[in-house]
């Protein structure tokens, strides 16, 4: 579990840094990131606040996607992002 959050060490004592997990980008990830950035600019909010405070706006935009495969990928990434946000809130509440 720690590796997921911190990353594996790569000679950190020597100053080389840490390994980072590389997640392949999907069109759904790109769509959501662009949509969040657009909404953030329109509503003068940070991207994190858009995800946390404006899920209905994201749902409205998602509902306008015509391509079934992109809709599916975007929904998967939205679900994953919301679950990660909820998990972060739980950790904050527990501490």
Instruction: Kindly list the averaged pLDDT for each block of 10 residues, start to end, along the chain of length 95.
Output: 48 58 85 95 92 93 97 95 85 78
Q: Which residues contact 37 (CB under 8 A, 6 or more apart)?
A: 47
Give backbone dihedrals phi and psi of 9, rounded to 5 degrees, phi first. Answer: -75, 140
What is the value of pTM for the model shown? 0.69
Q: Is 18 helix (H, G, I), strand (E, B) or coil?
A: strand
Contact predicate 35/64, CB 8 Å: no
pLDDT at 48: 84
pLDDT at 9: 52
């Amino acid at each position: 579990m720690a590796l997921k959050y911190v990353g594996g060490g790569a000679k950190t004592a020597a100053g080389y840094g840490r390994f980072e997990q590389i997640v392949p980008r999907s069109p759904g990830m790109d769509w959501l990131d662009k949509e969040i950035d657009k909404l953030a600019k329109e509503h003068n909010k940070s991207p994190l606040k858009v995800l946390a405070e404006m899920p209905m706006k994201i749902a409205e935009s998602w509902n306008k996607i015509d391509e079934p495969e992109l809709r599916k990928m975007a929904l998967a990434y939205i679900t994953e992002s919301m679950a990660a946000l909820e998990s972060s809130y739980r950790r904050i509440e527990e501490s």
